[in-house]
Chains A and B, each alone.
Chain A
Amino acid sequence: AQSVTQPDIHITVSEGASLELRCNYSYGATPYLFWYVQSPGQGLQLLLKYFSGDTLVQGIKGFEAEFKRSQSSFNLRKPSVHWSDAAEYFCAVGETDSWGKLQFGAGTQVVVTP
């Protein structure tokens, strides 16, 4: 069965500093990979996605993620965080050969300090 691991439950970063959120997955083939962000009291918004092609994908709000097949990872990065990036971030994995559900990681809470 597929699984998604986000090793960091909570990350604190200073405004203007870089941010990297880790995501590892377990799956037998190359899955669809997604990062979502959830601001307080809001639904989830899609930041970016990967399903084939260039392993470095660009998303909204200045985020990017890199798919590394050898490490079964899909880490999210931002070079310089803004206070508005404080939110919870979820990595998700989906099967490429079916419409089945996305498997979500447990989430990483990001706190941005002045």
Chain B
Amino acid sequence: GAGVSQSPSNKVTEKGKDVELRCDPISGHTALYWYRQSLGQGLEFLIYFQGNSAPDKSGLPSDRFSAERTGGSVSTLTIQRTQQEDSAVYLCASSLARSDGYTFGSGTRLTVV
């Protein structure tokens, strides 16, 4: 596609429920990144994919968080047993080359009530 697409754009969920956030990167971009942006905070790295493998998942906050990428394309970030502190905007980005920087999606705003 023309840009990085994330869905849903907004998600309200009850505490304790599981959620799935989807990212569809730019076609051909081999690198894919997930970040989290909490209110008034900077960007917190979560996980990085190169193709379907995740060389760096050091930013995942707990074992409730997991992510996968299939076909070197779409990625899903799953949060199990959501907590209120998981409320944030989850941003996905993709990249073709190191020197290009990232192209970001518009994000998914997750609210846990």
Contact = CB atoms under 8 A, between A and B. Distances in A.
A90 B42 CA distance: 8
B25 interface: no
A107 B42 CA distance: 6
Number of chain B interface residues as a range:
20 to 34
A34 B42 contact: no
Contacts of B12: none
B59 interface: yes
Most buried by A among B4, B56, B95, B104: B104
A100 B4 CA distance: 19
B45 interface: yes
Given A32-B98, A101-B56, A107-B42, A43 B91 contact: yes
Given A43-B91, A43-B107, A44-B91, A102 B42 contact: no
Interface string B47-88: 010100001100100000000000000000000000000000
Contact of A104 (B4, B42, B48, B99): B42
A49 B55 CA distance: 24
B102 A99 contact: no
A105 B42 contact: yes
A51 B99 contact: yes
B91 A101 contact: no
B75 to A, nearest CB: 15
Nearest to A45: B104
Interface of B: 4, 31, 33, 35, 41-43, 45, 48, 50, 55-56, 59, 91, 93, 95, 98-107
Given A36-B101, A90-B42, 18 more contacts: A32-B101, A34-B101, A43-B91, A43-B107, A44-B43, A46-B103, A51-B98, A94-B101, A99-B55, A99-B95, A100-B48, A101-B33, A101-B45, A101-B56, A102-B33, A104-B42, A105-B42, A107-B42
